[in-house]
Amino acid sequence: MKITVYLGSSEGNDPSLKKAVKELGAWIGESGSTLVYGGSKNGLMGEIAKSVLDAGGKVIGVEAQLFFDEDLQYEGLTELVVAKNIPERKTRMIELGDAFIAFPGGTGTLEEISEVISMVSLKQLDAPCIIYNLNGYYNALKALLEHMIEKGLSSEEKLQGIFFADSLERIKEILNKDPEIPRNE
C-alpha cells in the first residue's frame, strides 16, 4: 500500500508531534507500505522519511521544482519525483496514493488534505482519507464538516471514507479493516 502523508516542513513547538510522526513512519516502514510525501528533509517531513527508511520501508518524495532548486529534498529516498510546480506536485501525490493521512501541519497540509476530502466526497477518489487528530489538533475541522451537514451543505453520505483518528492504533484499524467503519468513532 502506498500511503500519502501530508505534514509540515517544520517541527512545530509540541514535542509530541515529533514522537508521533516517528511512530507513524516506523509503522509504515515495518508494515511493508510505501510512504509518499512532499520530499523535504526539513521538520516533520524529514522525520517521517527517516523513520520509514530506518524501518526498512520505501519512500517516494514528490517535490516541486522550486523546493528542489533550494536543495530541500531528503537524501536517500527510494524515489524522488520532481514536479514542475505545486499543483503538479499535489496531483502526483494523489495519483501515487492508495490511502491519505493528514498529520498535524500548516496551511499547505490543510490545502492538500482539503483537495483529497473534496475528491472523496465527490466519489472521484476511492481511498481512505484519514485526518490524524492528534491531541485534538483537527477538532475545528471536524466541527466544520459537521456544521456543513447541519446546514444542509454536505451529508453523511458525502463524508463516507473520511475518518478522524486520534491515535496510530486507530489509523491501523482504519487501514486494515472494512472501509465501512464509521468515520467519527
The predicted-structure confidence for 51-94, as pLDDT tens digits, reads as follows: 999 999 999 999 999 888 888 889 999 999 999 999 999 999 99
Q: What is the pLDDT of residue 103?
A: 98
Find the angle CA(162)-CA(73)-CA(109) to the nearest 5 degrees: 25
Q: What is the pLDDT of residue 177?
A: 65
Q: What is the pLDDT of residue 178?
A: 46
CA proximity to 172, closest of 39, 36, 29, 24:
24
Q: Is the pLDDT of residue 185 over 70?
A: no
% of the chain exceeding 90 in pLDDT: 90
- Residues with Cβ within 8 Å of 159's Cβ and at least 6 positions away in sequence, in order, are 121, 145, 149, 183
Q: Give the global pTM.
A: 0.92
Q: Reduced to 3 DSSP states, what percent helix, strand and coil does the chain have, rounded to the nearest 5? A: 45, 20, 35
Residue 54 in grid coordinates: 530506518
Which own/partner contact pairs does 174-177 have at CB distance under 8 Å and 24+ positions apart?
174/128, 174/130, 175/1, 175/3, 175/99, 175/128, 175/130
Q: Contact at 8 Å (CB) between 154 and 148?
A: yes
